[in-house]
């Protein structure tokens, strides 16, 4: 199993990336200047094959985040079916989380504090190439510096056909952020103003106001209610989601641009963790867009590319 450990040149921060299981960053220890914060929640044996690819560290979701209803869609007049034996599948019969999170990637550049991985559909998952309308390249760069883990994402279309796509990440953050704290010592923040109505985890296309008692923009205690929701109404420029461990005096932030227009927040059952999942599009966007809803579904023409980023950091707050 290929595993890369990054070490910051100007702090004690480190990150560990499992290249052969989705280029997944399974550990980030952030130096706040006062303490070292273990930020990500993952199975200690992930690098050797333990744990689900979608349930540890930072799974990378592409060319679609979350679900495609029934694993079926139509593109450019052609019907596609994503068979369960070839892709991830949820318990209610939907394809889930794309083609990249469970396969080996290739390292294309590496230094002591950074690494670049690449996944090309036709090269790294040729058995899945006929499941998508075009080939694609996803390139991801991780760098550790100070108390920050920076990630850059480049989506490229090497094909002669149009590439439809959506991108997301599924980071699992530890709650609490210190061994001396309790989960209930933590407040959760997310700058969202509404949510999408879901039935069996799939959007109906209707937007709803925020649930009563869940003012995430003001902060709510961890555990106030289970979460597995698709939120919307994020700022157009810069989005910060955060966990504040008040007892430890530590704040973890995830930053991304507003091009990630939707935010899934998920609290996995029987686990002290929370997922902040920025998506460029809505769940099942390829089907919803075809029915006239602005679901954020994107395309790239032949030779075109798109770049974006997500940063994770920790700091002392008192």
The dihedral region occupied by 292, where left means phi > 0, alpha psi between -120 and 50, and beta the remainder, is left
Q: What is the CATH number of the domain that holds 284?
A: 2.70.98.10
Burial of 209 (0-12, 13-18, 19+ CB in 10 A): exposed
pLDDT in tens, 45-102: 999 999 999 999 999 999 999 999 999 999 999 999 999 888 999 999 999 999 999 9
Q: What is the mean pLDDT of the chain?
A: 96
Residues of the chain with pLDDT under 50: none
Domain span at 233: 3-316
Say which DSSP state 162 is in. Answer: P
Q: How many domains does the chain have?
A: 1
pLDDT in tens, 193-202: 999 999 999 9
Percentage, residues of the chain above pLDDT 70? 100
Q: What is the largest CA-CA distance in the chain?
A: 58
pLDDT in tens, 69-85: 999 999 999 999 999 88
pLDDT of residue 85: 86
pLDDT of residue 83: 93
Residues 6+ apart with CB under 8 A from 17: 3, 4, 5, 6, 23, 24, 25, 26, 115, 117, 142
pLDDT of residue 318: 79
pLDDT of residue 76: 96
Residue 37 and residue 314 in contact, taking contact as beta carbons nearer than 8 Å: yes
């Amino acid at each position: 199993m290929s595993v890369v450990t990054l070490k910051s040149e100007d702090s004690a921060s480190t990150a560990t990336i499992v290249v052969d299981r989705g280029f997944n960053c399974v550990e980030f220890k952030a130096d706040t200047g006062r303490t070292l914060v273990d930020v990500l929640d993952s199975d200690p044996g992930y690098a050797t094959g333990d744990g689900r690819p979608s349930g540890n560290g930072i799974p990378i979701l592409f060319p679609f985040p979350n679900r495609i209803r029934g694993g079926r869609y139509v593109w450019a007049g052609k019907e596609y079916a994503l068979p369960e034996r070839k892709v991830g599948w949820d318990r209610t019969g939907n394809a889930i989380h794309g083609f990249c999170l469970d396969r080996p990637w290739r390292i294309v550049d590496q230094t002591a504090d950074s690494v670049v991985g690449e996944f090309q559909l036709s090269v790294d998952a040729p058995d899945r190439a006929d499941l998508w309308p075009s080939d694609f390249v996803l390139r991801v760069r991780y760098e550790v510096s100070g108390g920050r883990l920076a990630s850059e994402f480049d989506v490229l279309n090497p094909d002669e056909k149009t590439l439809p796509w959506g991108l997301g990440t599924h980071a699992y953050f530890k709650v609490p952020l210190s061994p001396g704290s309790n989960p209930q010592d933590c407040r959760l923040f997310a700058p969202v103003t509404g949510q999408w109505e879901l039935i069996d985890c799939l959007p109906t296309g209707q937007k709803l106001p925020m649930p009563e008692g869940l003012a995430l923009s003001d902060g709510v205690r961890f555990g106030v209610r289970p979460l597995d929701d698709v939120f919307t109404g994020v700022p157009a420029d810069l989005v910060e989601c955060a966990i504040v461990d008040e007892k430890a005096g530590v704040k973890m932030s995830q930053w991304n641009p507003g091009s990630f227009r939707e935010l899934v927040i998920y609290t996995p059952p029987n686990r002290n963790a929370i997922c902040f999942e920025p998506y460029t599009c809505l769940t099942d966007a390829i089907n919803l867009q075809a029915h006239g809803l602005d679901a954020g579904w994107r395309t790239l023409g032949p030779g075109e590319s798109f770049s974006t980023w997500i940063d994770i950091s920790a700091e002392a707050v008192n």
